[in-house]
Amino acid sequence: MNEIQTDILEYIPQRPPIVMIDRMVDISETRVVCEFKVKNDNLFVADGKLLEPGIIENIAQTIAAGAGYRAKEKNEKMKLGYIAAIKNLNIYAKPKVGDVLNTTVQIVNEVFSVTIVQAEVLCGSTKIADCEMRIFIEE
């Protein structure tokens, strides 16, 4: 994997304090991998652990970063996406402050304005979450 040397804020609509990814480490036409270090001042941290909504937002922003990067590479306008549905969400553990999440999102299908992805979140070699997410893309 080669880290994409760029400011992640170029590719996502979110701004601090809601940014839930730090950097993109790999991207292809159908896959994106981002990293995120859990910090104590994060909005979704309680009792030293990242809560479920933070993990979900991390996945959604990984999707957004991939779409934003691809749009920028093609000189296209970046489109906003919204979570339309989450299926088979499994959260196996809540990461602690200081942990680094490695989130991989694979596009499974694109139907009209909906992108369907399979997501997996690792902390080290331990899977902490996975799900299918459907994102509605604003035209």
**Per the structure, how many domains does the chain have?**
1
Give the whole-angstrom CA distance, residue 76 versus residue 119: 25
Give the whole-angstrom CA distance, residue 55 versus residue 121: 8
Nearest to 66 by CA among 105, 94, 95, 116: 105
In a domain, 3, yes or no: no
Give the whole-angstrom CA distance, residue 12 versus residue 136: 15
In a domain, 129, yes or no: yes
In a domain, 1, yes or no: no
Per-residue pLDDT of the chain (139 residues), as tens digits, is: 455 667 899 999 999 999 999 999 999 999 999 999 999 999 999 999 999 999 999 999 999 999 999 999 999 998 999 999 999 999 999 999 999 999 999 999 999 999 999 999 999 999 999 999 999 998 7
CATH number of residue 80's parent domain: 3.10.129.10
Given this model, what pLDDT does residue 85 score? 97
In a domain, 35, yes or no: yes
In a domain, 96, yes or no: yes
In a domain, 2, yes or no: no
CB 99 within 8 A of CB 54: no
Residue range of the domain that includes 15: 8-137
**H helix intervals, 1-139:** 52-73
The pTM is what? 0.94
